[in-house]
Amino acid sequence: MTAAPRNVLLMVADDHGYDLGCAGGAVHTPALDRLAAEGTLFTEAYAAVSSCSSSRATLYTGLYAHTNGMYGLSHDVHNFSLRDDVQTLPWMLKQAGYATAIVGKLHVKPEILLDYDAWLLPERPGHRDVAAMAHEAGRWIREQGGRPFFLTVGYSDPHRAGDPTQFANTRDWPEVPRRRYAPADVRIPSHLPDLPAVREDLAHYCEAVSRLDSGVGLMLAELAAAGHADDTLVVYLSDHGRAFPAAKDNLYREGIHLPLIVRSPQRQAGNLRCRAMVSWVDIAPTLLDWAGVATSADYRYAPLPGRSLLPILETPDPAGWDRVFATRTFHEVNQYYPVRSVRTRSHSYFLNLEPALTVPVAGDVSLSPSWRAILATPDARLGRRTLDAFLHRPAEELYDLADDPDEVVNLAADPAHAGALEELRAQLAAWRIATHDPWMAGVTDPFGPAH
């Protein structure tokens, strides 16, 4: 008797913050809500970096961006790239006999290491035809017959589209019921001020999120129509936070706290919320675990730093999942500001390696109506944070998340919190050594003499 294939569908949104109807958000996301009801919603899931290419590279390699070499954006003049000896999910799964394809956005270089068999409907600027993406993906799935497949769907929504004041909401898209949002009805996140321009900007963002949700629904319908709803591990997540000030390209909570939904055919029950603190470095180990594929013993980067999520899909509060790390070096090539961070249930700690620099603002954010309105409004704040505190940061930041979930009151110099500071300093230093951080002071070969 032939074993059923163990297929994988990985859906990656672009700039979708933790905005889900099922999580109490004001945005309409029925398809994602239904997926969460059928699977596990991780309520404390975090990207390991809040920048497009770097985050996607983490998903595809299971390695932190300072380890895999994807320090910033891959496209155009930025030209950051994976190290040439890194192995990727499509390559590893292909070696195990999987058919592999990506639909839409890739945004990682070099493409030769992202060894997909097919790249369907590559991303086009401003083009958000989520129905065409779903139908092309469905056609490819049906062509594979009984061969196991790994399909990545790289959405461009809800990224800003071309003109940073827009989110590709300037036209109707096929098979997508257009859902508009009134600025008065949007919910202002805690990292943004309540200004008219910010509200209007958020209304456009919410429309793009709803279009994304329609695309997810169409994709899941294609998977079911192809007969693979019951043999496919489905994972939905976003690369980083929404493209608004103090979210995208920041390691504060709004930049890296994101939706993660996993639906496994082996789940006994759905609609489960898991509070484990999980990271995007856990995604590759999860998919490899599902496929029964292991990294080779002589792989330079083995073992991968993450863990499979499969054993905790039905455990609301698993033990030992109480800490995540994050990294930032570049976004665009001229936006150097290296940061390393650790986040626990009680505290977040940030080590800013070049505190004399002004914190850069991602290009699409800096040209957005929200950022322009903030700059034009005297004494405007980013939530409770002053603009100066956002742009100019000390070498260390320490926040008590129980009293200060918005990460505003820096306790790094407070003697009453010296114990927590020392503990998190030590944890971060050990992690940087273990993950071969080239930015470790005095380290010229982070892999040691053996390499």
Q: Which residues pair with 11 in a beta bridge?
A: 153, 236
Instruction: Report d(CA 154, CA 303) in Å as an integer.
Output: 27
Identify the residue whose tokens are 């999120």.
209
Instruction: Report d(CA 244, CA 365) in Å as an integer.
Output: 6
| C-alpha 207, offset from chain centre | 20
Instruction: Report d(CA 196, CA 8) in Å as an integer.
Output: 42
- φ/ψ of 349, rounded to 5, equals -135, 135
Q: For residue 90, how many C-alpha atoms fall within 13 Å in the half-sphere facing its CB?
A: 22
The closest alpha carbon to 341, from 437, 275, 265, belongs to: 437
Instruction: Report d(CA 281, CA 301) in Å as an integer.
Output: 13
206 is catalytic: no
One DSSP character per residue, 328-374 reads ES-SSTT----EEEEEESSEEEEEES-TTSPPP--HHHHTSHHHHHH
Instruction: Report d(CA 342, CA 399) in Å as an integer.
Output: 11
Instruction: Report d(CA 188, CA 17) in Å as an integer.
Output: 13
**Pair 274, 312: CB distance under 8 Å:** yes
User: Per the residue annotation, which of 22, 52, 206, 274 is the catalytic one?
Assistant: 52
The residues carrying an active-site annotation are 52
